[in-house]
């Protein structure tokens, strides 16, 4: 697993004032117990997988703000810079002005050599991606962006190497028929039935799912995030 170095910047009040209104926020069904010292967290992602991964380490966002961006590489852009750029744009789209609120965003990119695979548009597109991944090693890079209550923006990216076994036509047909490929970078979900395609990985498993947990938690804590206590069982 490789990590890109952190980058950070502070944006001024004028940028905050000119930001368009945030999209509608999705309230969580289970509210954590929060004290005055604990932080609020907005997850700038529509991915249920990232929400579940955060819950796995005891972090429940106060709001979820889905973002709608064009997830295409710029000319000559590589996977790491692309993932960090998209994560930064998602975080900035969900920015709020609040002395206790953090905004966390992420974006995952699959790359085979210099070719980057986004989300498949249709079954034919998914088939081409799986045929390309078959019997080969590829890289999964997730960019993370965090905006602190002080307005500081920090980005990081994590890369995991994944090796696929050689897939038969029948395996590809069966996988596509199951619809698991939809809304997934590279047209597969390692946490689902595609787990049977994996010969091995080198690096963070949660990164391949969509959010490298060790790095995300470390980034939050390094910038002063204090998680809420879990709600008491009644």
Catalytic residue among 13, 62, 63, 107: 107
Asked if 214 and 205 count as a contact pair (C-beta separation under 8 A), the reply is no
Neighbour-count burial of 139, counting CB atoms closer than 10 A to its CB (0-12 exposed, 13-18 middle, 19+ buried) = buried
The token pair at 12 is 């001024």
Number of Cβ within a 10 Å radius of residue 166: 10
Q: Any idea which residue has 């990164």 for tokens?
A: 207
Question: Quick check: is 107 catalytic?
Answer: yes
Q: Give residues with Cβ within 8 angstroms of 96, minimum separation 6.
A: 22, 42, 103
Please write down the long-range contacts of 112-121, taking CB distance under 8 Å and 24 or more positions apart: 112/136, 112/138, 112/139, 114/78, 116/73, 116/79, 116/82, 117/185, 117/186, 117/187, 118/71, 118/72, 118/185, 119/71, 119/182, 119/183, 119/184, 119/185, 119/187, 120/181, 120/182, 120/184, 120/187
Catalytic residue ranges: 107
């Amino acid at each position: 697993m490789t990590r890109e170095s952190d980058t950070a910047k502070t944006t001024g009040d004028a940028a905050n004032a000119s930001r368009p209104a945030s999209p509608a926020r999705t309230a969580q069904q289970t509210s954590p117990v929060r004290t005055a010292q604990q932080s609020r967290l907005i997850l700038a992602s529509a991915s249920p997988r990232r929400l579940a991964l955060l819950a796995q380490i005891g972090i429940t966002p106060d709001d979820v703000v889905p973002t709608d961006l064009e997830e295409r590489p710029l000319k000559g852009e590589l996977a790491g810079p692309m993932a960090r750029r998209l994560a930064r744009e998602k975080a900035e789209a969900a920015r709020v002005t609040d002395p206790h609120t953090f905004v966390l965003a992420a974006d995952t990119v699959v790359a085979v050599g210099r070719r980057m695979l986004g989300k498949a548009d249709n079954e034919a597109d998914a088939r081409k991606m799986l045929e390309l991944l078959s019997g080969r090693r590829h890289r999964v890079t997730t960019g993370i962006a965090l905006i602190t209550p002080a307005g500081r923006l920090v980005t990081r990216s994590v890369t995991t190497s994944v090796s696929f076994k050689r897939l038969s036509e029948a395996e590809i047909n069966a996988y596509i028929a199951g619809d698991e490929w939809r809304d997934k970078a590279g047209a597969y979900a390692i946490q689902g039935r595609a787990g049977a395609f994996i010969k091995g990985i080198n690096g963070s498993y949660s990164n391949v799912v969509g959010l490298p947990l060790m790095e995300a938690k470390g980034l939050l804590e390094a910038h002063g995030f204090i998680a809420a206590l879990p709600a008491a069982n009644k």
